[in-house]
A and B are shown apart, each in its own frame.
Chain A
Amino acid sequence: QVQLQESGPGLVKPSETLSLTCTVSGASISSYFWTWIRQPAGKGLEWIGRIYTSGTTNYNPSLKSRVTMSVDTSKNQLSLKLSSVTAADTALYYCAREDTTSRPLDVWGQGTTVTVSS
């Protein structure tokens, strides 16, 4: 059974870089797209971007200038970096697996809350 676990600092200062890791267990991360999604408290879901295990990325244009995603196949981990954060980046951040055939997000982590505050 595939499980995803997000981790990282829960508090980030404005203008700094948010860094999160998603650890995948129960299966290899190879041959899937791995996606980051965020959800501000009480609001809807925002797609941040995705990375294939080859390193190919697609980012949301609204965040593209600040986002970097990477994958470490040896550790079965993904990472997300979001630079120059503001209070608007405060949210619950999820990682999820995108199936490559029908393309739904079929496995999700439990999410990790990040607050941007001084």
Chain B
Amino acid sequence: DIQMTQSPSSLSASLGDRVTITCRASQSISTYLNWYQQKPGKAPKLLIYAASSLQSGVPSSFSGSGSGTDFTLTISSLQPEDFATYYCQQSYSTPRTFGQGTKVEIK
């Protein structure tokens, strides 16, 4: 199985801050990397697919980059609705695997 490791596990940030979350795969996954946002009591929502493609309807403040084993999700200016938990997921091979999540909290 491909292991996905996110860092940090949690972070505190202020409104307007630039936030970066990192995801590392245990082997190369090309650009088969997706990012999801999950708010309490809700299903995850797709933000970024194929490492850097923005899902329709997602604000352009979200961006993704990377290939191979190292990937980042960036929120350019944190908004109140962005406080949530973020997961990366590899779709290179089965079983699909997720990172452990990064909780973004208000400072």
Candidates B42, B46, B94, B98; contact of A106 at CB < 8 Å: B46
Asked if A108 lies at the interface with its beta carbon under 8 angstroms from chain B, I say yes
Asked if B81 lies at the interface with its beta carbon under 8 angstroms from chain A, I say no
Spell out A's residues near B (CB within 8 Å).
35, 44-47, 49-50, 58-62, 94, 96, 98-99, 102-106, 108-111
Interface size on B, residues (CB 8 A): 24
Contact A47 B43 (CB under 8 A): no
Beta-carbon contacts of B10-23 to A below 8 Å, as 1s and 0s? 00000000000000
| CB contact under 8 A between A47 and B46, given known A98-B91, A104-B34, A105-B34 | no
Q: From B91, which residue of chain A is reached at the shortest CB distance?
A: A103
Beta-carbon contacts of B88-107 to A below 8 Å, as 1s and 0s? 01010011111111000000
| CB contact under 8 A between A50 and B94, given known A102-B53, A106-B49, A106-B55 | yes
